[in-house]
């Protein structure tokens, strides 16, 4: 009898161990994954991985039944889609994540950095620009409130003594802003690349100031996912971060081929893409630790401007555990 009980106990323990092995992974949980992105050279790591087939090949090994994508004109609308689970992963500006969390109580987390700097202030070809004071009384088009460009532009103007009541900042997507500058309905635009290069190539305007001059090495795009997706599919999230790290390295090492991939996905000519990445001040990155302080400062800026009801901490906004685990494995 004791022998039978011992055998049963061992079997029960083995079953318990086997079941516990399912905790923290995606065993048996099939899902679809839609990745949101924006048609910007900021997010070329995404288009490189997509063109190389890495998203599908890597994620389908983890019970992902289908991998899709959806393009967004700017970050605020993409944050809404991520919050509502219309997409599961977002290549998105860091700033739009902040109001989604602070104002709308979305439980979103930044799991990787994507890029720093990379936006430009553009004025008409014949306009004179000597500094931010020249923008007083002017109309400036940029991405909608809560976007990285809107947040950075407003903070920079305030730091340089320009009261926001002295300028008219109009929220537009890149195409609208380009049309507005060409028609003279705005006096300047502040947009992410490649649009500033497109405007120059079309003879509509000239780049007069880069975002890295406004705030050196500032955070721009990130990868964000929901806490719910992290809880339900941690292995998938880890693989998303891994693919992104590899795609970032590839894009940095093969910019011309990456530009070709981007051009094919977005319809922007390869020559314009190359011009953009040759003249921008951006850099493709993946380490979330290097941008934490910048993102928290955006939160403080949005709070001071009355855009959000509370300022957020790094703990509110980041989950660096996936990146840290992958790098520890690579450095072991």
> What are the residue boundaries of the structural domains of the chain, listed by start?
32-117+219-331, 119-214
User: pLDDT value at position 16?
Assistant: 37
Considering the segment(s) 32-117+219-331 as one domain, its CATH architecture is 3-Layer(aba) Sandwich (3.40)
Pairwise CA distance, residues 195 & 272, whole Å: 9
Neighbouring-strand partners of residue 318: 110
- DSSP-derived secondary structure letter, 193: T
Rounded Cα–Cα distance for residues 95 and 221 (Å): 9
Residuewise pLDDT in 10s, the chain (332 residues): 333 334 333 343 333 333 333 334 444 568 999 999 999 999 999 999 999 999 999 999 999 999 999 999 989 999 999 999 999 999 999 999 999 999 989 999 999 999 999 999 999 999 999 999 999 999 999 999 888 999 999 999 999 999 999 999 999 998 999 999 999 999 999 999 999 999 999 999 999 999 999 999 999 999 999 999 999 999 999 999 999 999 999 999 999 999 999 999 999 999 999 999 998 999 999 999 999 999 999 999 999 989 899 999 999 999 999 999 999 999 98
The Cβ of residue 106 has, within 10 Å, a number of other Cβ atoms equal to: 18
Show the beta-strand stretches assigned E in the chain: 31-37, 64-71, 89-93, 108-113, 115-116, 119-124, 139-142, 168-171, 188-192, 205-210, 221-226, 283-284
d(CA 120, CA 192): 6
Are domains 32-117+219-331 and 119-214 of this chain identical in fold?
yes
Is the domain spanning 119-214 CATH 3.40.190.10? The answer is yes
Torsional class of 32: left (φ above 0), alpha (ψ -120 to 50), beta (otherwise):
beta
Give the angle subtended at the CA of 41 by the CAs of 54 and 62, to the nearest 5°: 20
Nearest in space to 73 (alpha carbons), one of 179, 236, 191: 191
């Amino acid at each position: 009898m004791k022998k039978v009980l011992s055998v049963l106990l061992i079997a029960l323990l083995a079953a318990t161990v086997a079941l516990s092995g399912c905790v923290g992974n995606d065993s048996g949980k099939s899902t679809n994954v839609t990745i949101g992105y924006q048609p910007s050279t900021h997010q070329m790591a995404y288009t490189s991985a997509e063109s190389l087939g890495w998203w599908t090949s890597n994620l389908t090994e983890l019970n992902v039944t289908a991998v899709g994508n959806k393009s967004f004109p700017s970050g605020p609308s993409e944050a809404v889609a991520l919050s509502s689970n219309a997409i599961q992963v977002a290549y998105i500006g860091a700033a739009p994540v902040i109001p989604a969390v602070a104002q709308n109580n979305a439980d979103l987390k930044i799991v990787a950095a994507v890029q720093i700097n990379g936006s430009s202030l553009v004025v008409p070809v014949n306009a004179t620009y000597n500094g931010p004071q020249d923008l007083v009384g002017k109309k400036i088009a940029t991405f909608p409130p809560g976007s990285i460009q809107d947040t950075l532009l407003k903070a920079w103007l305030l730091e340089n003594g320009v009261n926001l009541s002295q300028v008219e900042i109009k929220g537009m997507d890149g195409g609208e802003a380009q049309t507005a500058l060409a028609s003279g309905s705005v006096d300047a635009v502040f947009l992410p690349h490649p649009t500033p290069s497109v405007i120059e190539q079309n003879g509509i305007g000239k780049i007069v100031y880069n975002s890295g001059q406004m705030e050196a090495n500032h955070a721009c795009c990130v990868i964000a996912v929901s806490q719910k997706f992290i809880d339900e599919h941690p292995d998938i999230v880890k693989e998303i971060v891994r693919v992104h790290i590899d795609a970032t390295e590839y894009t940095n090492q093969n910019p011309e081929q990456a530009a070709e991939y981007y051009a094919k996905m977005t319809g922007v000519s390869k020559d314009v893409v190359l011009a953009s990445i040759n003249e921008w001040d951006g850099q493709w990155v993946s380490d979330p630790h290097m941008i934490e302080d910048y993102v928290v400062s955006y939160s403080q800026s949005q709070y001071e401007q009355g855009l959000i009801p509370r300022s957020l901490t790094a703990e509110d906004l980041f989950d660096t555990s996936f990146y840290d685990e992958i790098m520890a494995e690579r450095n072991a």
